[in-house]
Each structure stands twice: as C-alpha cells, then as structure tokens.
Structure 1
Amino acid sequence: MTEKQELILETALKLFAENGFDTTPTSLIAREAGVSEGLIFRHFTNKEGLMDAILALSEERMGQKVQAIVTLTEPLAKIYAVIELPVKLFSEEREFWKLQFSLKWQKKYKGQSYRPSGHYLELVSVITDAFRQLGYAEPEKEVMLLILLLDGLSNQLMQQPSDEFIQSTLSFIKSKYFNA
C-alpha cells in the first residue's frame, strides 16, 4: 500500500468514526487528506471501496488478537483475555474500533444480514471450549451472556468512560468467572 493510500484510509477512518459512514462525503475525505477526490476513486473506486479496505484491515487486526488468545493454555486466561479485549482494542486504536462497533447503527449497514467473521466464530469456539473445560453446565449460554456483556462494555467504551469505571467493570465481569 502506498503512502497516499494509507493517508486516505487513515483520514477516511477518522472521519467515518467521527461523523459516520453515511454522512462523510469523499470530497471531505480528499480535502482533509490533502489529495484529489479522483485519487480516492483511482485507488478505492468509491466510498464503499474505502470502507471495504478498512473492514479488511479490521479482519487482519482481529485475526492477530484472536490468535493471541488461542495460544493461551489456561481456560480462565482465555476467558479473561476475551473480557479484556474490548478495552485493549479501544485503548490501542480508538477510532478504528469505534467505527467497527458503530457500524451496526449506520444506515448502509443497518438491516443487512449479519454474518460473523471467521475470527469471531473461532473466538466463540475457543471460549465455549474454555467454559466446557472449567465445568460449566451450559458453556454455549455462558458465551452468549459474555458476548452480551462485552457488547454493552464496548458501547460504553465509545463514550470514553473513566479509567476507574473501566477497571471496576472489568474486575466485576472477571469476578463472575473467578470461582469456576
């Protein structure tokens, strides 16, 4: 990827995260990036092409995070790593993950049938296995509950809560699995 392409993607990401995909025109992306709108179209075809490139990066980055969790050996360590994942994602690349988590509310993506990524399915499988190894009677339901909790935490993280709130919430969620 060229330097200009990276600049365009970074700018699009920032603007999509701040303003939403639907309300961010390519002309604004071009102006903010200091490039011509034609260059955006040459490299990415259109605004959807920009989003597709950002989503491809998302898949790659999430794959790295999932592989780090998969390599853990202790079931409880895997569960804790999943619990910490949203906080890690937002602290490392806030705009990037804010956009990813907010897409479900954006007009173009709202109402589309949801197809979980391979990385997401792998993570669900790993965590289901971890709950099973810890002796939970209904590991699939535990995973579903944990996903709901983490989705709520992710929504809170988009609002930039205090570190104290984040840490107390993480501790509370982890405490639910401490005495497994």
Structure 2
Amino acid sequence: MTEKKELILETALKLFAEQGFDTTPTSKIARLAGVSEGLIFRHFGTKEGLMKAVVELGESRIGRHLTGIEQEGNHRQRIHKIIELAYVLFQEEREFWQLQFTIKWQRKYTHAHTSPHYLRLMQLGMESFRALGYAEPEKEIQLLAMLVEGFGSMMIKQPDAATLENMLTFIKSKY
C-alpha cells in the first residue's frame, strides 16, 4: 500500500470515528491528509468504497491476534484470550473500534458479525466451552459475545484504565 493511500485511510478512520461517516465530507479527509479529493476517488471509487477499505484494514489487524488464540491449548486460557481481545484491540485501535460501535446499528454495515475473524472467534470459543464441559456451548459463546460487546461500549464511554482493567478481570473470573 502506498504511503498516501495509508494516510488517506488513517485520516478517514479518525474522522469517521469522531464525526460519523455521513457527516464527514471527502473534501475534509483530503485536506487533512494533504492529498487531492480526486486521489481519494481514484483509490477508492466512492466514499462508501473508502469506508469499506477502512473496515477491511481494521479486519486485517484483528487477524494478527487470531493465531495466538487458535494456538492456545488450554481452553480456559483461550476463553480468557477471547475476552481480552476486545481490550487489547481497543488499546491498539481505539478509533477503529469507536467507528465500529457507531456504525453497527446502520443497516448497510451489519455485516460485522459475519466477518471471517468474528466467526472464527465464535467457533474457537464454542469449541473451548464444549471441551470444558459446558452444557450449551453455543449459548455460552453468544452470552460471552454480548458481554464483550457491552464491555466494548463501556470502553468507549469510560476510558479510565483502572476501571476497565477491573471489569476485564471480573468478566474473566466468570469463566
């Protein structure tokens, strides 16, 4: 990826997360990235294409963490790593996750829960719950996903590290 394309994506991510997709004009992205608006359209076609590229970039970053979770042989530790993933990703990619939480209710972006990484995490969690003898592993992973999603909302609203770490420890203690 070229340096300018990466700069456009990072600038778009920041502005979409702070101001929203619909209220951020491509002209502002271009101005803050120091590129022409035409370059944005040349690289991404449309503003929606730019948003798609931002989401794909974030997805690829999630993939880096999957290997460690997949390789974890201790099923309880694997579940803990799944829980911790939200916190780790939020620390690394706050703007991306802020954007995810702002667009998740928009119908055109509801594909987030069908992403390959999300589906793989759900599968790994279900396998671990099954291996640990939980009666309904499918429901356990769904419950855990709801807890982690709520934790994600909390991270956006209350970025106090001590409170977040205490809640993370508490959630992990349930498993």
Distance 1:161 1:33 in 2: 27
> 1:41 aligns to what?
41
Higher helix share: 2
1:174 equivalenced with 2:172 (yes/no): yes
> 1:58 aligns to what?
58
Distance 1:114 1:68 in 2: 21
> Any unmatched runs of 5+ in structure 1?
none
| TM-score (norm: length of structure 1) | 0.90
> 1:24 aligns to what?
24
Contact kept in structure 2, 1:127 and 1:143, CA below 8 Å: yes
Mapping 1:8-157, distance limit 5 Å: 8-106=8-106, 108-109=108-109, 116-157=114-155
Q: C-alpha root-mean-square deviation of aligned residues, in Å?
A: 1.6
Aligned length: 175
Deviations 1:142-168 (A, max 9, x none): 111111100000011112431121111
Deviations 1:101-153 (A, max 9, x none): 321134753xx566511221111111111111111111111111111100000
Query: SS at the partner of 1:136?
Result: coil
Query: SS at the partner of 2:104?
Result: helix
Distance 1:51 1:146 in 2: 28
Q: Percent identity?
A: 57
Contact kept in structure 1, 2:104 and 2:112, CA below 8 Å: no
Distance 2:108 2:142 in 1: 26
After superposition, the Cα gap between the structure-2 partners of 1:114 and 1:80, relative to the gap in structure 1 and judged at 3 Å, is: closer
Deviation at 1:28, TM superposition (A): 0.7
Contact kept in structure 2, 1:83 and 1:150, CA below 8 Å: yes
Counterpart of 1:64, as a letter, is: R
> Any unmatched runs of 5+ in structure 2?
none
